[in-house]
Amino acid sequence: MIAVHANGAEIEKRYEEEMYSMSANANPTPNNSGTTFRRMILVNLIILIVLIAAAITGYYFYNQSTLYLKTDDAQVAGTQIVVSAPASGKLINWQGTNGSTFNAGDEIGEIQTQVGNKTVDVPIDMPANGTIAQNEVMNNEFVAAGTPLAYAYDMNHLYIVANIKETQLQNVKVGDQVDVWVAGKAGSISGTVTQIGDATASTFSLLPNQSTTADYTPVTQVVPVEISIGTTAGSGLVPGMSATVRIHK
C-alpha cells in the first residue's frame, strides 16, 4: 500500500508540473512580454532611422543634380609662353632655368651668330611676363632659328579648364558661378565661367576619333569650358594640377 501511495503521489506531482508548464507557455510572464515589446520598439526605430537616412540621401543627390553641374575632369591651366631662338647660332648667357621669373622684354640670353664676316650677339627677349616652367636648352648649345628654348606661364593669372559633356552643355552659360577644388589644396576657390569652347576637346587631338567601318558606336564628346579664378599670385597653383568643379545652374 505504501508503494502504491508513493507512486500515486509522484504521478500527481508530475501532472501538476506539466499543467504549470502549459499554463506558463499559454500566459507568458510579464518579464518576457516586456522584452518582446522593447524588441519591437527597437526594430521599428531602426527601420525609421534607415528610412530617414534614405530620404535625406535622396534629397541631397536630387538637390545636387538640380542646382549644380559637377565634374572632376578639370585642371589648372594658363596661357603658354614660348621662348624661341631669334636666330641660328650658339646660345650664350642663358638664364632661362626652371622657376626663373621674368617681365616682358627682359633679356634672358643671347644667340652668337655670324652676319657676314662679323660675329653678332642677338638678344633673346622674354615675350611676356612669366615663369619658366620647362627649360629645353643649355649654354653653349647650337640652336636653329625658331627653336623653342623654354616654355613659361604667367603664374599670377592661371585659370581652370573643365571638360563638360556635350549632353550637359546646355546647362552652362558664360557668367555662371563656379566652386573649384584643386587637388592638394584646402578649401574651395570661387570662379566664373568666362568662355565655352567652340569645338570638342578631341577635334584638335593628334589622333582624332574616326570611323572606318559601318559599325559606329557614338562616344559622348566633351567641350572645354574656361573658368576664371582671379589672381593666383602666391596660391601655389601650377598648370596641370587636377581640379573638381561645381557649376551653379
The count of structural domains within the chain is: 2
The pLDDT, as a whole number, for residue 139 is 95
Longest dimension (CA), the chain: 152
**Average pLDDT over the chain, rounded to an integer:** 85
Q: For 18-25, what is the mean pLDDT?
A: 52
Q: Tell me the C-alpha distance between 195 and 155, whole Å.
A: 20
Residue type, 83: V
The stretches of the chain forming alpha helices (DSSP H) are 2-26, 30-67
Domain end (from 92, 127, 153)? 153
Q: Find the radius of gyration of the CA atoms of the chain.
A: 39
pLDDT in tens, 146-158: 999 999 999 999 9
> What's the pTM value of the predicted model, to 2 decimals?
0.70
Q: Are residues 196 and 210 in the same domain?
A: yes
**100 and 169 fall within a common domain:** no
pLDDT at 130 exceeding the cut of 70: yes
Give the domain CATH number at 107.
Answer: 2.40.50.100
Confidence of residue 34 (pLDDT cuts 50, 70, 90): low
The pLDDT value recorded for residue 6 is: 44
The parent domain of residue 106 ranges over: 80-153
